Amino acid sequence: MKFKQSLVNRAGLDKARLPRHVAIIMDGNGRWAKKRSFERLEGHRRGVDVIETVVKASRNAGIENLTLYAFSTENWKRPADEVAGIMALLKIFLSEKQTTLKENGIRLNAIGELWMLADDVRSVLDEAIAVTGGGSDMVLNLALSYGGRAELTSAVKRIAEDALAGKLQVGDIQDHVIQDYLYTRNIPDPDLMIRTSGEMRISNFLLWQLAYAEIYVTQTLWPDFTEDEFVDILKDYARRDRRFGKV
Ligand code: FPP
């Protein structure tokens, strides 16, 4: 199914002032479920519907990169049935939506400690990445088993190995070199980071990459997040004056 074009015209967005990369901490699924006396997994199920809404809206607005914090390294410590439920939802999403992603020019990418994923999850993830590999309209980047400190630790180790092997001179280590050792090496840094559910933390998400990101925290719980609110946040972003530390 091909998505409708141009949210830019319909919603009155200024194309020149759109973020190139939006990163989202999708938080509040558990609280959304608890408020309704549902099981937590029902919150995650609704959360997946909202993922679809936001992927479509981003693609139709012309945002080039969308990163979603779907599962953190810390999330492995949740009860086993919740972890299994989230992994099952992820598998369903990847197998059912890969064709739609492909048809809409969306290339799937994943960042994180992917080796920690079970083989069945990993294989459907690899399949979806391969199927959507030709997409050039947007990158949907899923942070899975992701932690910013683990990413930086892995980068430091590999930089040290390359320096010891003589492939890299210590004097040549600069910002852009470190960038090349991160999971996000081919993706520009996020311009805008949205967190739902009102928490004022970055929770080990993209620690290096968020250095100059604009941050927007909404009280809305992720399952209640809508395209309209997303558009309002994009308009708020368009009004901001980004100085990158300069005057
Ligand atoms: C945060 O809510 C949400 C998560 C930790 C998991 C998000 C995962 C999905 C929506 C499903 C799988 C992903 C894809 C890409 C299909 P929370 O549980 O921390 O909520 P709480 O803070 O209210 O407890």
Closest C-alpha among 127, 134, 138 to residue 60: 138
Which ligand 1 atom lies nearest to the CA of residue 48? 10
CA distance 207 to 188: 14
Is 75 one of the catalytic residues? yes
Residue of 9, 75, 186, 204 marked active site: 75
Q: Torsion angle, CA of 116/42/92/204, rounded to 10 degrees?
A: -30
CA pseudo-torsion sign 147, 153, 155, 157? negative
Ligand 1 contacts (CB < 6 A) are 26-31, 44, 47-48, 51, 70-71, 75, 86, 89-90, 93, 142
pTM: 0.95
Q: Please tell me the distance between residue 198's alpha carbon and the centre of ligand 1 in angstroms.
A: 15
Please report, rounded to a whole number, the percentage of residues in the chain having pLDDT higher than 90.
91
pLDDT given at position 10: 80
pLDDT given at position 8: 81
pLDDT in tens, 7-19: 887 888 889 999 9
Pocket test for ligand 1, best of 32, 44, 109 (most atoms within 8 A of CB): 44
Other residues' Cβ atoms within 10 Å of the Cβ of residue 218: 19
Q: Are 95 and 124 in contact, with CB atoms under 8 Å apart?
A: yes
Is 29 one of the catalytic residues? no
pLDDT given at position 4: 63
Residue of 9, 27, 49, 104 marked active site: 27
Q: Please tell me the distance between residue 146's alpha carbon and the centre of ligand 1 in angstroms.
A: 13
CA distance 133 to 127: 10
Residues with pLDDT less than 50, the chain: none
Residue nearest to ligand 1 atom 6, measured at CA: 70
